């Protein structure tokens, strides 16, 4: 049997046992208006690459003074439930939707860290577009105090940060070793070699509004739900 981090056989000093592989817990936040294959497929590949056995999807709440998702929180949740029904990798956590304040990732991860204890390896999954904008997130530096960042590639976005100071911050935290993620509680950034999926919720909403097909972009069960509920017209 080969180690999942370095592919060396059992002689690897940090060989992943099955228990090790279940150790790292990952959270995946977003609006999911609606959920699509650009959300799901890169993360399934990432999970295989680094040996993640569970990904917790956490749809976020958008407060009243911000542009609202077109679907309600309940509809976004129901679409997610349909999308992951046959995918045991994923589970859903609705805690951010139960709050009526803005969902700040830094605060959510602080709470999660308190629940999980100081040693538990935790990670937050984002796409490449989110990495580029990450320094504009509320209290972004504290996020790495509580979790690793796992980044999936996304077409149309640069991999370098816009400002030199942010690029240095990125390089200070970068790792290309899955082993680092499993054996430390937080603080690393891992950019995964996931394939590009040129799909966004914005594109899907626009195409649906124009009566164009999105059959290749999201699960059929979610498309049927959208049609039954007259969403994104
Ligand atoms: P919108 O078009 O409405 O802004 P979106 O498609 O970007 O939505 P979000 O729900 O905002 O989806 O994204 C949640 C997370 O999924 C973010 O971290 C985002 O970077 C990531 N993500 C979304 N689409 C892709 C994709 N095609 N490839 C990789 N990551 C993606």
* pLDDT value at residue 66: 73
* pLDDT value at residue 67: 83
Tokens of 130: 């989110």
Among 60, 61, 51, 6, residue whose Cα is nearest residue 26: 51
**Contact between 205 and 67 (Cβ < 8 Å):** no
Percent of the chain with pLDDT over 90: 81
Minimum mean pLDDT among 3-7, 23-27, 148-152: which range?
3-7
Q: Is any atom of ligand 1 closer than 6 Å to the C-beta of 219?
A: no
Segment 180-185 shows an average pLDDT of 95
163-169: long-range contacts, CB 8 A cutoff, minimum separation 24: 163/135, 166/134, 166/135, 169/135, 169/141
How does pLDDT run across 76-132, given as a tens digit for each residue?
A: 999 999 999 999 999 999 988 888 788 799 999 999 999 999 999 999 999 999 999
**Contact between 197 and 212 (Cβ < 8 Å):** no
Model's pTM, two decimal places?
Answer: 0.91
- Share the mean pLDDT of the chain: 90
Strand partners, 192: 152
Segment 182-190 shows an average pLDDT of 97
Buried b (16+ CB within 10 A) or exposed e, 178-210: bbbbbeebbbbbbbbebeebebbbeebbeebee
Ligand 1 pocket: which of 55, 92, 201 to mutate (most atoms <8 Å of CB)?
201
**Confidence bin at 6 (pLDDT 50/70/90):** low
* pLDDT value at residue 8: 56
199 CA from centroid of ligand 1 (Å): 8
2 CA from centroid of ligand 1 (Å): 33
ipTM over 0.95? The verdict is: yes
Question: Which residues neighbour 227 within 8 Å (Cβ) at sequence distance 6 or greater?
Answer: none
* pLDDT value at residue 62: 81
Among 88, 92, 80, 14, residue whose Cα is nearest residue 52: 88
87 CA from centroid of ligand 1 (Å): 19
3-state helix, strand, coil in the chain (%, to 5): 40, 15, 45
* pLDDT value at residue 7: 56
Query: Quick one: 171 exposed, middle or buried, by C-beta within 10 A (0-12, 13-18, 19+)?
Result: exposed
Tokens of 147: 């979790």
Q: Is any atom of ligand 1 closer than 6 Å to the C-beta of 43?
A: no
Segment 125-144 shows an average pLDDT of 95
Query: Going by CA atoms, what residue is nearest to atom 8 of ligand 1?
Result: 201
Write the DSSP string, 132-196: HHGGGSTTHHHHHHH-EEEEE--TTS-SS-SSHHHHHHHHHHEE--HHHHHHSSS--EEEE-PPP
Residue 18 in this model has a pLDDT that exceeds 70: no
């Amino acid at each position: 049997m080969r180690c999942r981090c370095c592919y060396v056989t059992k002689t690897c000093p940090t060989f992943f046992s099955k228990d090790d592989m279940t150790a790292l817990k990952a959270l995946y936040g977003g609006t999911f208006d609606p959920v699509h294959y650009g959300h799901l497929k890169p993360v399934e590949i990432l999970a295989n690459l680094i040996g993640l056995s569970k990904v917790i999807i956490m749809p976020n709440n958008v407060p009243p003074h911000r542009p609202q998702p077109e679907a309600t929180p309940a509809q976004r949740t129901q679409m997610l439930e349909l999308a992951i029904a046959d995918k045991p990798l994923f589970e859903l956590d609705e805690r951010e939707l139960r709050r009526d304040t803005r969902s700040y990732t830094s605060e959510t991860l602080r709470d999660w860290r308190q629940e999980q204890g100081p040693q538990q390896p935790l990670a937050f999954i984002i796409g490449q577009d989110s990495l580029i904008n990450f320094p504009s997130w509320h209290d972004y530096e504290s996020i790495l105090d509580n979790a690793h960042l796992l980044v999936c590639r996304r077409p149309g976005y640069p991999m370098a940060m816009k400002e030199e100071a942010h690029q240095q911050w990125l390089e200070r935290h970068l790792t290309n070793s899955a082993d680092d993620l499993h054996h430390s509680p937080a603080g690393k950034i891992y950019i995964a070699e996931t394939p590009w999926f040129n799909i966004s919720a914005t594109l899907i909403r626009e195409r649906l509004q124009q009566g164009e097909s999105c059959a290749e972009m999201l699960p059929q069960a979610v498309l049927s739900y959208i049609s039954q509920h007259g969403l994104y017209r």
